[in-house]
Structure 1
Amino acid sequence: MPASHSSYDSGDEPRPRHVAIIMDGNGRWARARGLPRVAGHRQGVEAVRRTIKAAGEAGVEVLTLYSFSSENWRRPRAEVDELMGLLRRYLKSEIADLHGRNIRFRMIGERDGLAADILTLIDEAERMTGSNDAMTLVLALNYGGRQDIARAARNIAESVHRGLLRPEAVDDELFSSYLSTAGLPDPDLLIRTSGEKRISNFLLWQCAYAEMVFIDKFWPDFDADDLAAAMDEFAGRERRFGSTANGR
């Protein structure tokens, strides 16, 4: 981490426990260089590696990466196949390294629709790293925020129907326990690259009070300095959680 961002080593500045990132701009990065879109996705994997390393060094407890949304299936078949191939290669080549660095791996999102061999790799990664506690890396794969909320509502309704849960027991805390992120702190900081300023169906419930930072760089160019700058911006903001400043 560059010396200019050494405040995160001192512990004097507030830091986010959970950083969530919408990794956007791979295709535009490639197009700007006259390259096929797949080249942008491949370079984006390098940005993932840099960001995991930087987040761990900055003391982030949870890093969630939006890698493939439930809407991404609508992309051209060749591009989807390339993305799934990159995912396979990442899981095969990187999980042992994550485990060696005491990083826990976790996936959120719908498993239906994913290839059987990918699901096997994910299960193996979660099992291998399940006891690690240096940082949790969450891969949002085939994920949609509305779908996450709808699934939680269905499961709660089923529990009520079966007499396992009283309707009056349903509050924010209980609802959160039915979401795919159960057991994790909500994101404090949401970052989106590429200059777009929307959250695109990502962690809709969980990001209710997240600070949002939008970065003009395309994802393949994102690096440790960009993460540190976003965390510095987070540290300079006054978090109110729906209340007025200073409790007034």
Structure 2
Amino acid sequence: MNPIKHVAIIMDGNGRWGIKNKGSRNSGHRAGLNTVETIIEECIEKKIQYLTLYTFSTENWKRPKKEIDFLFNLLQNFLKHKIENIIKKKIKLNFIGELNQLPSALKDLIKLSEKKTKKNQLIQVNIALNYGSKSELLRAIKLINKKKLIINEKNIDKNLFTNKITNPDILIRTGNTKRLSNFMLWQMAYTEIFFEKKLWPDFNKKDFRIILNSFKIIKRNFGSVK
């Protein structure tokens, strides 16, 4: 059976869920946080080492300012009110992306959250915030050139935001959309991809377990013949 160290998730469908059920996209974003907590608990139970959540992409700046502000405030409130519980549960928080472009209050909370949880080892939750895989790769190449290193796979790996994280074994995308949306394109060369029809707030423990069990029995050759 295939071991599972790292699960990555594109949490798609919050806005559509909110409009359908509450008449508001923002209601869907708020509901999606409940699913986040559920899946973190499941990952802990299944002893999964890394969980990476695609929270806000470099392309999401195209959304209405009111929605962007709501998303950032939602994350700020989550970090403020949940951080002690996160520490208690031994969850390590790690943020990846172009964080310097975020509002200063949110940046300060991110730094504080990472500092307070840095010694936790039960699970590492990576929050991809203002993240885009293409910009990450360009950044890595610029860093390699600056360090006067050879451009090769090893050095690119070392200069990505994910340099200390194993590549995802599984990618889950909810929301009935079948694309990667500029998410961890380099890291997911051999990731098994599962597209889920349910919108993110409707995704549950049972759905997650079905995907984990399906992954465990997949024959993974990584380009070879076995």
TM-score normalized by structure 1? 0.89
2:22 and 2:87 map into 1 onto residues whose CA distance is: 37
2:154 and 2:206 map into 1 onto residues whose CA distance is: 35
Aligned counterpart, 2:153: 172
1:93 and 1:172 map into 2 onto residues whose CA distance is: 40
* Alignment partner of 1:73 is 2:53: no
Secondary structure at the residue paired with 2:147?
Answer: helix
TM-score normalized by structure 2? 0.97
Amino acid at match of 2:187: Q
1:138 and 1:110 map into 2 onto residues whose CA distance is: 14
1:59 and 1:149 map into 2 onto residues whose CA distance is: 30
Q: Which of 193, 204, 210 does residue 212 from structure 1 map onto?
A: 193
**Cα RMSD (Å):** 1.1
* Alignment partner of 1:27 is 2:15: yes
CA deviation after TM superposition for structure 1 residue 112, in Å: 2.5
2:145 and 2:10 map into 1 onto residues whose CA distance is: 31
Gaps of 5+ in 1: 1-12
Aligned counterpart, 1:232: 213
Q: Which of 93, 96, 118 does residue 105 from structure 1 map onto?
A: 93
Gaps of 5+ in 2: none
Of stretches 54-63 and 90-99 in structure 1, the one that deviates more from structure 2 is: 90-99
Secondary structure at the residue paired with 1:112?
Answer: helix
CA deviation after TM superposition for structure 1 residue 31, in Å: 2.1
* Alignment partner of 1:188 is 2:188: no
1:192 and 1:119 map into 2 onto residues whose CA distance is: 27
Equivalences for residues 12-23 of structure 1 within 5 A: 13-23=1-11
Contact map agreement 2:7 2:51 (CA 8 A) in 1:
yes
Aligned counterpart, 2:80: 92
CA deviation after TM superposition for structure 1 residue 34, in Å: 4.8
Amino acid at match of 1:15: P
Q: Per-residue displacement from partner, 1:156-200 (whole Å, max 9, x unpaired)?
A: 01111xxxx3x2xx4322210100001110001000001111110
Aligned counterpart, 1:131: 119
* Alignment partner of 1:58 is 2:39: no
CA deviation after TM superposition for structure 1 residue 33, in Å: 2.1
